[in-house]
């Protein structure tokens, strides 16, 4: 493509590469059978004794457009993000286009001791938080000594 020989595109590509490298070094995630894919939305997962917490960084997506499914211990986050609304009137120019758009789907496998009936999902400032409680029986319990 002729336009890709222009310097600005080259700089944009170098910068994207730099960012990807930086992010690749940032993570020391062990490779999973479902792929090493880092993508949209970025995921942080944490656990407490009583729950598993999933944070999906999904800016610019309406919460009603995100589908969260839990099926046999596998959590799926799917949806679609619209591209930037550029008016195609010949007078607008897109100089930089780095943000993700299109369909997305990310999958996480959850531990065995979760309670699939009590999952809650909330969205705030473009971060979707999915809270998956662990089953009562799996939670640590203190046994009183008589």
Partner 1 sequence: MTDKQVTHSPDTEARQDAALSPPVDVVEDATGITLYADLPGVPKERLNVHVEGETLFIEADIVLELPQGMQASHAEVQRTHYRRTFNLSRELDPAKVSAELNQGVLRLRIPKAEHAQPRRIEVQVG
In the complex, least distance from residue 42 CB atom to partner 1, rounded to whole angstroms? 4
Told to check if 53 binds partner 1 by CB under 8 A, we report: yes
By CB under 8 A, the residues from 93 to 132 that bind partner 1 are 93-100, 108, 123, 125-127, 129
Element (H, E) at 51: strand 51-57
Peptide bond into 109 cis (omega under 30): no
By C-beta, is 18 or 136 nearer to partner 1?
18
Give the three-class secondary structure for 9.
helix
Task: List the one residue from 4, 7, 72, 91 that touches partner 1 (CB under 8 A).
Answer: 91
The β-bridge partners of 74 are 71, 109
In the complex, least distance from residue 146 CB atom to partner 1, rounded to whole angstroms? 29
Told to check if 139 binds partner 1 by CB under 8 A, we report: no
Of residues 43, 12, 41, the one with CA closest to residue 27: 43
By C-beta, is 55 or 70 nearer to partner 1?
55
Residues 6 or more apart in contact with residue 37 via CB below 8 angstroms: 106
Residues in the chain: 146
By CB neighbour count within 10 A (0-12 exposed, 13-18 middle, 19+ buried), where does 128 fall?
A: buried
Q: Which stretch binds partner 1 (CB under 8 A): 25-33, 71-79, 113-121, 136-144?
A: 25-33
User: What is the contact surface with partner 1 in residues (CB under 8 A)?
Assistant: 11, 15, 19, 22-23, 26-27, 29, 38, 41-49, 51, 53, 55, 57-62, 84, 86-87, 91-100, 108, 123, 125-127, 129
């Amino acid at each position: 493509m002729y336009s890709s020989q222009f310097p600005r595109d080259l700089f944009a590509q170098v910068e994207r590469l730099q960012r990807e490298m930086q992010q690749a070094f940032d993570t020391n995630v062990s490779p999973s059978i479902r792929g090493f894919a880092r993508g949209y939305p970025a995921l942080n997962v944490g656990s407490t004794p009583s729950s598993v917490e999933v944070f999906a960084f999904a800016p610019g997506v309406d919460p009603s457009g995100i589908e969260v499914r839990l099926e046999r211990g596998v959590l799926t986050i799917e949806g679609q993000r619209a591209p930037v609304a550029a008016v195609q009137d010949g007078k607008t120019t897109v100089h930089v286009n780095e943000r993700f758009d299109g369909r997305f789907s990310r999958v996480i496998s959850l531990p065995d001791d979760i309670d699939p009936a009590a999952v809650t999902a909330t969205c705030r400032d473009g971060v979707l938080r999915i809270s998956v409680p662990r089953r009562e029986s799996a939670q640590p319990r203190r046994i009183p000594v008589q």
